Amino acid sequence: MKTAVVCGAGGFIGHHLCDLLKTEGYFVRGVDIKEQEFAPSPADEFALLDLRDPDSCRQAVRIGGAAADEVYQLAADMGGMGFIHSAECEIMTNSALVNIHMINAASEAGVSRYFFSSSACVYRDQEEGDVYLSEEDAYPAFPDNEYGWEKLYAERMALSFARNRGIEVRIARFQNCFGPYGTWRGGREKAPAAICRKVAMANDGGEIEVWGDGSALRVYTYVPDLCGGVFALMQSDVTEPTNIGSDEIVSVDQLVTTVADVAGKSIEIRHVEGPVGVQARYHSGDRIKSTGWRAQHTLRDGIEATYPWIEEQVRTTAMSA
Ligand code: NAD
Protein backbone atom coordinates (compact mmCIF):
# COMPACT_ATOMS: atom_id res chain seq x y z
CA MET A 1 0.00 0.00 0.00
CA LYS A 2 1.39 3.42 -0.93
CA THR A 3 1.76 5.91 1.90
CA ALA A 4 1.14 9.65 1.77
CA VAL A 5 1.58 12.52 4.20
CA VAL A 6 -0.72 15.50 3.72
CA CYS A 7 0.57 18.66 5.45
CA GLY A 8 -2.23 21.12 6.07
CA ALA A 9 -4.74 18.25 6.45
CA GLY A 10 -6.61 20.24 9.10
CA GLY A 11 -7.32 22.89 6.49
CA PHE A 12 -9.73 23.08 3.60
CA ILE A 13 -7.98 21.60 0.54
CA GLY A 14 -5.79 19.24 2.62
CA HIS A 15 -8.92 17.67 4.12
CA HIS A 16 -10.42 16.97 0.69
CA LEU A 17 -7.07 15.70 -0.60
CA CYS A 18 -6.91 13.15 2.26
CA ASP A 19 -10.34 11.98 1.14
CA LEU A 20 -9.22 11.54 -2.46
CA LEU A 21 -6.00 9.72 -1.50
CA LYS A 22 -8.01 7.31 0.69
CA THR A 23 -10.28 6.61 -2.27
CA GLU A 24 -7.16 5.92 -4.37
CA GLY A 25 -6.09 3.27 -1.82
CA TYR A 26 -3.32 5.13 0.03
CA PHE A 27 -2.48 4.91 3.72
CA VAL A 28 -2.80 8.58 4.64
CA ARG A 29 -1.25 10.51 7.50
CA GLY A 30 -2.66 13.99 8.01
CA VAL A 31 -0.50 16.62 9.68
CA ASP A 32 -1.49 20.10 10.83
CA ILE A 33 -1.05 22.52 13.70
CA LYS A 34 -4.80 22.19 14.29
CA GLU A 35 -7.58 19.72 13.61
CA GLN A 36 -10.20 20.24 10.91
CA GLU A 37 -12.85 22.53 12.37
CA PHE A 38 -15.85 21.17 10.47
CA ALA A 39 -15.46 17.43 9.91
CA PRO A 40 -13.49 14.42 11.18
CA SER A 41 -10.35 13.80 9.13
CA PRO A 42 -10.59 10.96 6.58
CA ALA A 43 -6.85 10.28 7.18
CA ASP A 44 -5.78 6.96 8.74
CA GLU A 45 -3.77 8.86 11.34
CA PHE A 46 -3.49 12.53 12.22
CA ALA A 47 -0.53 14.26 13.89
CA LEU A 48 -0.72 17.70 15.47
CA LEU A 49 2.64 19.30 14.64
CA ASP A 50 3.96 22.81 14.11
CA LEU A 51 5.77 22.48 10.79
CA ARG A 52 7.78 25.68 11.31
CA ASP A 53 9.95 23.45 13.50
CA PRO A 54 12.52 21.26 11.66
CA ASP A 55 12.17 18.33 14.10
CA SER A 56 8.39 18.33 13.64
CA CYS A 57 8.94 18.16 9.88
CA ARG A 58 11.28 15.17 10.31
CA GLN A 59 8.60 13.49 12.43
CA ALA A 60 5.87 14.39 9.94
CA VAL A 61 7.38 12.64 6.91
CA ARG A 62 7.82 9.24 8.59
CA ILE A 63 5.04 6.68 8.79
CA GLY A 64 5.76 3.72 11.10
CA GLY A 65 9.52 4.49 11.03
CA ALA A 66 9.81 4.63 7.22
CA ALA A 67 9.78 7.62 4.90
CA ALA A 68 6.39 8.18 3.29
CA ASP A 69 6.21 7.48 -0.45
CA GLU A 70 4.62 10.86 -1.15
CA VAL A 71 4.40 14.14 0.74
CA TYR A 72 1.77 16.75 -0.15
CA GLN A 73 2.80 20.12 1.30
CA LEU A 74 -0.28 22.36 1.63
CA ALA A 75 0.36 23.89 5.07
CA ALA A 76 0.51 27.68 4.89
CA ASP A 77 -0.48 30.83 6.72
CA MET A 78 -3.36 31.51 4.44
CA GLY A 79 -6.47 33.57 3.85
CA GLY A 80 -8.42 35.71 1.42
CA MET A 81 -7.33 39.14 0.14
CA GLY A 82 -8.15 40.90 3.44
CA PHE A 83 -5.78 38.56 5.30
CA ILE A 84 -3.10 38.51 2.60
CA HIS A 85 -2.80 42.29 2.63
CA SER A 86 -2.75 42.64 6.43
CA ALA A 87 -0.58 39.67 7.51
CA GLU A 88 2.46 40.08 5.28
CA CYS A 89 5.02 39.46 8.05
CA GLU A 90 3.25 36.31 9.28
CA ILE A 91 2.99 34.92 5.74
CA MET A 92 6.61 35.71 4.84
CA THR A 93 7.83 34.15 8.11
CA ASN A 94 5.55 31.21 8.86
CA SER A 95 4.94 29.84 5.36
CA ALA A 96 8.60 30.23 4.40
CA LEU A 97 9.73 28.33 7.52
CA VAL A 98 7.28 25.50 6.82
CA ASN A 99 8.39 25.25 3.20
CA ILE A 100 12.12 25.35 3.97
CA HIS A 101 11.94 22.70 6.69
CA MET A 102 9.48 20.41 4.91
CA ILE A 103 11.47 20.01 1.69
CA ASN A 104 14.66 19.49 3.72
CA ALA A 105 12.99 16.83 5.90
CA ALA A 106 11.38 15.04 2.93
CA SER A 107 14.62 14.97 0.99
CA GLU A 108 16.72 13.81 4.00
CA ALA A 109 14.24 11.04 4.82
CA GLY A 110 14.21 9.72 1.24
CA VAL A 111 10.61 10.59 0.33
CA SER A 112 10.17 9.68 -3.36
CA ARG A 113 7.77 12.38 -4.46
CA TYR A 114 7.01 15.81 -3.04
CA PHE A 115 4.07 18.02 -3.94
CA PHE A 116 4.04 21.77 -3.27
CA SER A 117 0.87 23.88 -3.44
CA SER A 118 1.73 27.20 -5.02
CA SER A 119 -0.74 29.81 -6.20
CA ALA A 120 -1.91 31.86 -9.17
CA CYS A 121 -0.85 34.81 -6.97
CA VAL A 122 2.69 34.32 -8.38
CA TYR A 123 1.54 36.03 -11.61
CA ARG A 124 1.44 39.72 -12.39
CA ASP A 125 -1.86 41.56 -12.67
CA GLN A 126 -3.78 41.30 -15.95
CA GLU A 127 -6.51 43.22 -17.70
CA GLU A 128 -9.67 42.04 -19.41
CA GLY A 129 -8.75 40.78 -22.89
CA ASP A 130 -5.09 40.21 -21.94
CA VAL A 131 -3.44 37.06 -23.29
CA TYR A 132 -3.68 33.84 -21.31
CA LEU A 133 -0.53 33.58 -19.20
CA SER A 134 1.43 30.38 -19.46
CA GLU A 135 3.48 29.04 -16.56
CA GLU A 136 6.67 30.63 -17.97
CA ASP A 137 5.04 34.09 -17.75
CA ALA A 138 5.57 34.07 -13.98
CA TYR A 139 8.96 35.57 -14.94
CA PRO A 140 10.06 38.36 -14.94
CA ALA A 141 8.31 38.12 -11.58
CA PHE A 142 5.91 40.79 -10.36
CA PRO A 143 3.37 39.26 -7.97
CA ASP A 144 0.77 41.64 -6.57
CA ASN A 145 1.35 40.61 -2.93
CA GLU A 146 3.88 39.08 -0.50
CA TYR A 147 1.95 35.81 -0.43
CA GLY A 148 2.76 35.42 -4.13
CA TRP A 149 6.44 36.23 -3.58
CA GLU A 150 6.70 33.64 -0.80
CA LYS A 151 5.11 31.05 -3.09
CA LEU A 152 7.64 31.82 -5.82
CA TYR A 153 10.50 31.48 -3.35
CA ALA A 154 9.11 28.14 -2.09
CA GLU A 155 8.68 26.88 -5.68
CA ARG A 156 12.33 27.68 -6.37
CA MET A 157 13.36 26.06 -3.09
CA ALA A 158 11.56 22.81 -4.02
CA LEU A 159 12.92 22.90 -7.59
CA SER A 160 16.48 23.34 -6.33
CA PHE A 161 16.06 20.21 -4.20
CA ALA A 162 14.77 18.36 -7.26
CA ARG A 163 17.85 19.41 -9.25
CA ASN A 164 20.45 18.85 -6.54
CA ARG A 165 19.11 16.21 -4.14
CA GLY A 166 17.27 13.88 -6.47
CA ILE A 167 13.78 14.18 -4.95
CA GLU A 168 10.91 14.18 -7.48
CA VAL A 169 8.97 17.42 -7.11
CA ARG A 170 5.58 18.43 -8.49
CA ILE A 171 4.29 21.98 -8.15
CA ALA A 172 0.76 23.21 -8.80
CA ARG A 173 -0.29 26.84 -9.00
CA PHE A 174 -3.86 26.76 -7.68
CA GLN A 175 -6.55 29.12 -8.85
CA ASN A 176 -9.12 30.20 -6.21
CA CYS A 177 -10.65 27.08 -4.76
CA PHE A 178 -13.98 26.71 -2.98
CA GLY A 179 -16.22 24.04 -1.49
CA PRO A 180 -17.60 22.74 1.81
CA TYR A 181 -15.36 22.65 4.94
CA GLY A 182 -13.50 25.83 3.99
CA THR A 183 -13.18 28.85 6.28
CA TRP A 184 -16.38 30.88 5.84
CA ARG A 185 -15.97 33.70 8.40
CA GLY A 186 -13.41 35.36 10.66
CA GLY A 187 -11.30 37.24 8.09
CA ARG A 188 -9.43 34.36 6.42
CA GLU A 189 -12.31 33.27 4.18
CA LYS A 190 -11.97 33.67 0.43
CA ALA A 191 -14.46 35.41 -1.87
CA PRO A 192 -16.81 32.47 -2.71
CA ALA A 193 -17.24 31.56 0.98
CA ALA A 194 -17.64 35.22 2.00
CA ILE A 195 -20.29 35.79 -0.69
CA CYS A 196 -22.16 32.59 0.27
CA ARG A 197 -22.15 33.74 3.92
CA LYS A 198 -23.37 37.24 3.07
CA VAL A 199 -26.15 35.91 0.84
CA ALA A 200 -27.16 33.34 3.49
CA MET A 201 -27.41 36.15 6.07
CA ALA A 202 -29.35 38.50 3.78
CA ASN A 203 -33.11 38.54 3.39
CA ASP A 204 -34.72 37.91 0.03
CA GLY A 205 -34.69 41.37 -1.63
CA GLY A 206 -31.85 42.48 0.67
CA GLU A 207 -28.45 43.96 -0.04
CA ILE A 208 -24.87 42.73 0.44
CA GLU A 209 -21.56 44.57 0.38
CA VAL A 210 -18.96 43.50 -2.17
CA TRP A 211 -15.36 44.77 -2.15
CA GLY A 212 -14.36 46.72 -5.26
CA ASP A 213 -16.50 47.49 -8.30
CA GLY A 214 -17.38 43.83 -8.98
CA SER A 215 -15.62 43.73 -12.34
CA ALA A 216 -12.47 41.82 -11.26
CA LEU A 217 -12.22 38.59 -13.25
CA ARG A 218 -11.52 35.30 -11.52
CA VAL A 219 -11.48 31.54 -11.96
CA TYR A 220 -13.10 29.62 -9.10
CA THR A 221 -12.34 25.92 -8.94
CA TYR A 222 -14.50 23.45 -7.04
CA VAL A 223 -12.38 21.53 -4.54
CA PRO A 224 -12.85 17.93 -5.86
CA ASP A 225 -11.69 19.15 -9.29
CA LEU A 226 -8.62 20.81 -7.81
CA CYS A 227 -7.70 17.70 -5.79
CA GLY A 228 -8.14 15.56 -8.91
CA GLY A 229 -5.66 17.88 -10.66
CA VAL A 230 -3.14 17.50 -7.83
CA PHE A 231 -3.39 13.73 -8.04
CA ALA A 232 -3.07 13.71 -11.85
CA LEU A 233 0.01 15.95 -11.61
CA MET A 234 1.61 13.73 -8.96
CA GLN A 235 1.14 10.65 -11.19
CA SER A 236 2.54 12.48 -14.22
CA ASP A 237 6.04 13.21 -15.52
CA VAL A 238 5.38 16.96 -15.55
CA THR A 239 8.16 18.45 -13.44
CA GLU A 240 7.56 22.17 -14.08
CA PRO A 241 5.13 24.34 -12.07
CA THR A 242 1.62 23.72 -13.41
CA ASN A 243 -1.56 25.80 -13.29
CA ILE A 244 -4.63 24.02 -11.97
CA GLY A 245 -7.99 25.71 -12.36
CA SER A 246 -11.29 25.57 -14.17
CA ASP A 247 -11.70 27.20 -17.62
CA GLU A 248 -14.66 29.32 -16.50
CA ILE A 249 -13.76 33.00 -16.07
CA VAL A 250 -16.32 35.09 -14.19
CA SER A 251 -16.51 38.55 -12.65
CA VAL A 252 -17.01 38.96 -8.92
CA ASP A 253 -20.53 40.27 -9.65
CA GLN A 254 -21.26 37.10 -11.66
CA LEU A 255 -20.16 35.06 -8.66
CA VAL A 256 -22.67 36.97 -6.50
CA THR A 257 -25.43 36.44 -9.07
CA THR A 258 -24.72 32.70 -9.19
CA VAL A 259 -24.82 32.41 -5.39
CA ALA A 260 -28.03 34.45 -5.16
CA ASP A 261 -29.61 32.32 -7.85
CA VAL A 262 -28.68 29.07 -6.08
CA ALA A 263 -30.00 30.55 -2.81
CA GLY A 264 -33.26 31.52 -4.55
CA LYS A 265 -32.92 35.12 -3.33
CA SER A 266 -33.04 38.46 -5.07
CA ILE A 267 -29.93 40.34 -3.86
CA GLU A 268 -28.80 43.93 -4.43
CA ILE A 269 -25.04 44.47 -4.60
CA ARG A 270 -23.47 47.49 -2.88
CA HIS A 271 -19.88 47.98 -4.01
CA VAL A 272 -17.61 49.24 -1.25
CA GLU A 273 -13.88 49.90 -0.97
CA GLY A 274 -11.83 46.86 0.02
CA PRO A 275 -8.76 44.79 -0.83
CA VAL A 276 -9.68 43.32 -4.22
CA GLY A 277 -6.26 42.11 -5.39
CA VAL A 278 -5.47 41.87 -9.10
CA GLN A 279 -7.99 42.93 -11.76
CA ALA A 280 -7.82 39.72 -13.78
CA ARG A 281 -6.45 36.20 -13.83
CA TYR A 282 -6.29 34.32 -17.14
CA HIS A 283 -4.04 31.29 -17.15
CA SER A 284 -3.42 28.59 -19.63
CA GLY A 285 -4.51 25.11 -18.52
CA ASP A 286 -2.67 23.32 -21.32
CA ARG A 287 0.01 21.79 -19.12
CA ILE A 288 -2.34 20.17 -16.60
CA LYS A 289 -4.61 19.06 -19.46
CA SER A 290 -1.62 17.19 -20.94
CA THR A 291 -2.08 14.74 -18.02
CA GLY A 292 -5.65 14.04 -19.19
CA TRP A 293 -7.20 16.05 -16.32
CA ARG A 294 -10.24 18.27 -16.92
CA ALA A 295 -12.43 20.14 -14.42
CA GLN A 296 -15.69 18.23 -14.11
CA HIS A 297 -17.82 20.93 -12.46
CA THR A 298 -19.06 24.38 -13.44
CA LEU A 299 -19.03 27.25 -10.95
CA ARG A 300 -22.78 26.72 -10.51
CA ASP A 301 -22.33 22.98 -9.78
CA GLY A 302 -19.80 23.85 -7.07
CA ILE A 303 -21.94 26.61 -5.56
CA GLU A 304 -24.93 24.22 -5.49
CA ALA A 305 -22.85 21.98 -3.21
CA THR A 306 -21.18 24.75 -1.20
CA TYR A 307 -23.98 27.25 -0.53
CA PRO A 308 -26.21 24.81 1.43
CA TRP A 309 -23.24 23.90 3.65
CA ILE A 310 -22.43 27.55 4.43
CA GLU A 311 -26.12 28.38 4.85
CA GLU A 312 -26.31 25.58 7.45
CA GLN A 313 -23.20 26.93 9.25
CA VAL A 314 -24.78 30.40 9.36
CA ARG A 315 -28.07 29.00 10.68
CA THR A 316 -26.53 26.75 13.39
CA THR A 317 -24.15 29.49 14.51
CA ALA A 318 -27.02 31.97 14.81
CA MET A 319 -29.06 29.42 16.80
CA SER A 320 -26.22 28.72 19.25
CA ALA A 321 -25.38 32.45 19.74
P1 NAD B 1 -6.21 26.42 4.82
O2 NAD B 1 -5.83 27.64 5.61
O3 NAD B 1 -7.58 25.91 4.97
O4 NAD B 1 -5.19 25.24 5.13
C5 NAD B 1 -3.86 25.47 5.45
C6 NAD B 1 -3.54 24.66 6.68
O7 NAD B 1 -2.15 24.84 7.01
C8 NAD B 1 -4.34 25.10 7.91
O9 NAD B 1 -5.12 24.04 8.41
C10 NAD B 1 -3.28 25.52 8.90
O11 NAD B 1 -3.57 25.20 10.26
C12 NAD B 1 -2.06 24.75 8.40
N13 NAD B 1 -0.84 25.34 8.93
C14 NAD B 1 -0.49 26.65 8.88
N15 NAD B 1 0.67 26.81 9.54
C16 NAD B 1 1.05 25.59 9.98
C17 NAD B 1 2.16 25.12 10.72
N18 NAD B 1 3.10 25.97 11.17
N19 NAD B 1 2.26 23.80 11.00
C20 NAD B 1 1.28 22.95 10.58
N21 NAD B 1 0.21 23.33 9.86
C22 NAD B 1 0.09 24.64 9.58
O23 NAD B 1 -5.87 26.77 3.31
P24 NAD B 1 -6.32 26.01 1.97
O25 NAD B 1 -7.28 26.87 1.30
O26 NAD B 1 -6.68 24.60 2.27
O27 NAD B 1 -4.95 26.06 1.13
C28 NAD B 1 -4.05 24.95 1.08
C29 NAD B 1 -2.83 25.35 0.27
O30 NAD B 1 -3.23 25.74 -1.04
C31 NAD B 1 -2.06 26.54 0.87
O32 NAD B 1 -0.69 26.34 0.69
C33 NAD B 1 -2.54 27.70 0.03
O34 NAD B 1 -1.58 28.75 -0.01
C35 NAD B 1 -2.72 27.04 -1.33
N36 NAD B 1 -3.69 27.75 -2.17
C37 NAD B 1 -5.00 27.78 -1.83
C38 NAD B 1 -5.91 28.46 -2.63
C39 NAD B 1 -7.38 28.52 -2.29
O40 NAD B 1 -8.16 29.11 -3.05
N41 NAD B 1 -7.84 27.95 -1.18
C42 NAD B 1 -5.47 29.12 -3.80
C43 NAD B 1 -4.13 29.09 -4.11
C44 NAD B 1 -3.24 28.38 -3.30
The pLDDT tens digits of the residues spanning 100-120 come to: 999 999 999 999 999 999 999
- Identify the residue whose C-alpha is closest to ligand 1 atom 9: 11
Q: Report whether residue 51 contacts ligand 1, using a CB cutoff of 6 Å.
A: yes
pLDDT of 198 = 97
Neighbours of 59 (CB within 10 A): 14
| Mean pLDDT to the nearest integer, 169-196 | 94
The mean pLDDT value of the chain amounts to: 95
Number of the ligand 1 atom closest to the C-alpha atom of 177:
40
The gap between the terminal CA atoms of the chain, to the nearest Å, is 46
80 has a pLDDT exceeding 80 = no
Dist. CA 155 → ligand 1 center (Å) = 15
Number of the ligand 1 atom closest to the C-alpha atom of 15:
26
* Least confident stretch, 3-17, 75-89, 175-189, 209-223: 75-89
Distance between CA atoms of residues 241 and 158, nearest Å = 10
> Which of 268, 233, 4, 248 has its CA nearest to residue 112?
4
pLDDT tens digits along 8-54:
999 999 999 999 999 999 999 999 999 999 999 999 999 999 999 99
pLDDT tier at 169, thresholds 50, 70, 90: very high
Distance between CA atoms of residues 244 and 167, nearest Å = 22
Neighbours of 179 (CB within 10 A): 25
pLDDT of 128 = 77
Which of the listed residues 19, 71, 78, 146 should we mutate to test ligand 1's pocket, taking the one with most ligand atoms within 8 A of CB?
A: 78
Dist. CA 281 → ligand 1 center (Å) = 21
- Percent of the chain residues past pLDDT 70, beyond the cut: 100
pLDDT of 102 = 98
Exposed (0-12), middle (13-18) or buried (19+): which is 137, by Cβ within 10 Å?
middle
Number of the ligand 1 atom closest to the C-alpha atom of 10:
9
pLDDT of 83 = 84
| Mean pLDDT to the nearest integer, 77-100 | 90
Let me know: does 158 contact 204? Beta carbons within 8 Å.
Answer: no
Which residues belong to the active site? 147
pLDDT tier at 6, thresholds 50, 70, 90: very high
Those residues with Cβ within 8 angstroms of residue 55's Cβ, 6 or more apart along the chain or in another chain = none
pLDDT tier at 236, thresholds 50, 70, 90: very high
Neighbours of 296 (CB within 10 A): 11
pLDDT of 295 = 97
